[in-house]
Amino acid sequence: MAKPTIILVPGAWHKALESFHLLTTLLGNHGYVVEAVPLASVGQSLPRLGFEEDVKNVATVIEKHADQGSDIVVLFHSYGGVPGSSACRHLLKSDRSAVGKAGGITHVVYCAAFAIEEGRCLMDGMGGQPLPWWVFDESEESMMPEDPENTFLQRHR
């Protein structure tokens, strides 16, 4: 039995290759095809690209591997679960099989990721209020964490 292809979707503010390089190397050394999807909304200058472009990036990578007949496991981290879930629409193996296509998503993994109901947004789950560590820059039309290293990495000293 062939090993599944593994697609990795990072969270907000995380560059795909940098965030997942240890995992992609480890899995690759064990014979897995692995691809980390860069999100359009990460590291962009004006005009900002956002959610819809993130969905498209994820769907394009999944569809590419599905069209090669691969069974696919998708791992979402943090915000990656929001556009990633939307990107999975019609790309499940069962959906593709029903229309005579091979390959598709067989499993999804939410790793500290958001899974929200269709028609809702991430802010709905926070009562419509930004988190206290978010810093908004009106001139750049951006939002960043106040202290990303301690917020996300929480390194032990």
**Which domains are assigned to the chain?**
5-117 (3.40.50.1820)
Taking the model in full, what pTM does it have?
0.83
Q: What is the mean pLDDT of residues 5-18?
A: 83
Tens digit of each residue's pLDDT (9 = 90 or more) over 51-77: 889 999 999 999 999 999 999 999 998
Alpha helix locations (H) across the chain?
A: 16-29, 51-67, 81-87, 93-98, 148
Mean pLDDT of all residues in the chain?
83
What are the b/e assignments for 52-69, b being 16+ CB within 10 Å? eebbebbbebbbebbeee
- The average pLDDT across 136-144 equals 62
Q: What is the pLDDT of residues 90-103, one digit of tens each?
A: 999 999 999 999 99
Residue 124 vs residue 111, higher pLDDT: 111
